[in-house]
Amino acid sequence: MEKVTRDRGSTVERVLGLIEEIGRAQGPTSLQSLADAIDAPRSTTHRLCASLEERGFLQRDLDGRRYLPGQALQRLATGFLSGSPLRLERHAVLENLSRDLGETCNLTFPDGTAMVYADRVETKWPLRLQFTVGSRVPLHCTASGKLYLSTLGKRRLRTLLNRLDLERKTPDTITGMERLADELEKIARAGYALDRGEFVAGMVAVAAPIMDAAGRFCGCIAVHGPDVRIDLDAPGLVPRVQQAARDMGEILARETGI
C-alpha cells in the first residue's frame, strides 16, 4: 500500500490522507489499512473516521467494520466533475453516442443502494424515458445497476443483495435472489448488461462499464429507449456503447489523475 507522506502531527493532513486513501481504494477499507496509510495509531484513525462519518464524508460498509466514501464526499466528487474543464468533453461522449444511436444516453455512478445519474443527453423522439441529473434508479432492475452489482466480490454482493428490496417493477423484473445471482454471473462474463423491460415496461437498455487505469469499475454509460426502436441484439449496439465507456474512462483518468 502506498503510504501518504504527511506531517504526522497535523490533524488536517491526516484527514486529507484518509480521504485520499478512501478515494484510491478499490473497495471497502479497514481501519487498520487507513491507519497504516496515514501512519497514525488506530485510536487516532478511529476518532478521525468517526468525525468524517458523522459529517457524511465516510460511511460504514455493509459489514459495519470497513469504510467507503460517504454521500457528502460523493457529492463533492460529482460537483468537481460538473465544474471540471473537461466536463464538455465528457458530455460530448454522450452527445456523440446519442447521435450515432438515436437514443437517450446517460452517465451513472453507484451511490449506496442505487445508481445516480451524473449526466444525460436526451433523444429528440417524443417517446422516451425522462430522468433528470441526480435521479436515483434501482440496482436490481436496471442495466447500469446490474452491471455494478456484477463487479462486486461475492461477500459484498451477498450482503448488499440481502439489503435490497427486489421490488417488482414490471412483469420482467427479476425478483428472485438465485435468478438475479445467475444473471449477474452472465453479466460479469459478458462485460456489459441489458435491461429487457425490467425497470419500465416496453423500455430496454444496454450499459457498459467505465474503468479507471487500474482496471477498477467507477461508473457506467448506458443507452435506453423503447423496444420498438432499440434492438438489443443489433450487432453494432454493444460495441458502440463499450467504446463510449472507454472514451469516458480516459477523460475521467485525466480529470482525477487515477
Q: Is residue 5 part of a domain?
A: no
pLDDT at residue 63, as a whole number: 64
Question: Is beta strand 193-196 parallel, antiparallel or unpaired with respect to 136-138?
Answer: unpaired
In this structure, are 26 and 151 located in the same domain? no
In this structure, are 59 and 106 located in the same domain? no
pLDDT at residue 30, as a whole number: 85
Q: Is residue 128 part of a domain?
A: yes
Q: Is residue 165 part of a domain?
A: yes
In this structure, are 111 and 31 located in the same domain? no
Mean pLDDT of the 124-151 span: 84
pLDDT at residue 161, as a whole number: 86
In this structure, are 25 and 145 located in the same domain? no
Q: In terms of residue numbers, what domain contains 239? A: 74-256
In this structure, are 119 and 245 located in the same domain? yes
In this structure, are 98 and 116 located in the same domain? yes
Q: Of 69, 84, 111, which one is at a domain's C-terminal end?
A: 69
Q: Where are the beta strands (DSSP E) in the chain?
A: 58-60, 67-69, 104-111, 114-121, 136-138, 193-196, 203-211, 217-226
What percentage of the chain has pLDDT greater than the value 70? 83
In this structure, are 168 and 196 located in the same domain? yes
- Between CA 148 and CA 152 the distance in angstroms is 7
Q: Given pLDDT bands bounded at 50, 70 and 90, which one contains residue 78?
A: low
pLDDT at residue 128, as a whole number: 57
In this structure, are 145 and 252 located in the same domain? yes
- Give pLDDT tens digits for 151-187: 988 888 888 888 888 999 999 999 999 999 999 999 9
In this structure, are 249 and 185 located in the same domain? yes
Most confident of 37-46, 60-69, 121-130: 37-46
Q: Is residue 2 part of a domain?
A: no
Spatial CB neighbours of 113, under 8 Å, sequence gap ≥ 6? 139, 160, 163, 164
Q: Residue 31 above 90 pLDDT?
A: no
Mean pLDDT of the 19-36 span: 79
Q: Of 26, 51, 69, which one is at a domain's C-terminal end?
A: 69
CATH classification of the domain holding 116: 3.30.450.40
In this structure, are 94 and 46 located in the same domain? no
pLDDT at residue 203, as a whole number: 93
- Kindly report each contact of residues 128-133 with a partner whose C-beta sits within 8 Å and lies 24 or more positions away, as own/partner: 128/103, 128/104, 128/225, 128/226, 129/104, 129/200, 129/203, 129/224, 129/225, 131/106
- Between CA 258 and CA 253 the distance in angstroms is 5
In this structure, are 225 and 243 located in the same domain? yes
Q: Is residue 4 part of a domain?
A: no
In this structure, are 142 and 243 located in the same domain? yes
Q: Is residue 3 part of a domain?
A: no
pLDDT at residue 193, as a whole number: 97
Q: Which residue has the higher pLDDT, 64 or 179?
A: 179
Instruction: Say if CB 142 and CB 135 are below 8 A apart.
Output: no
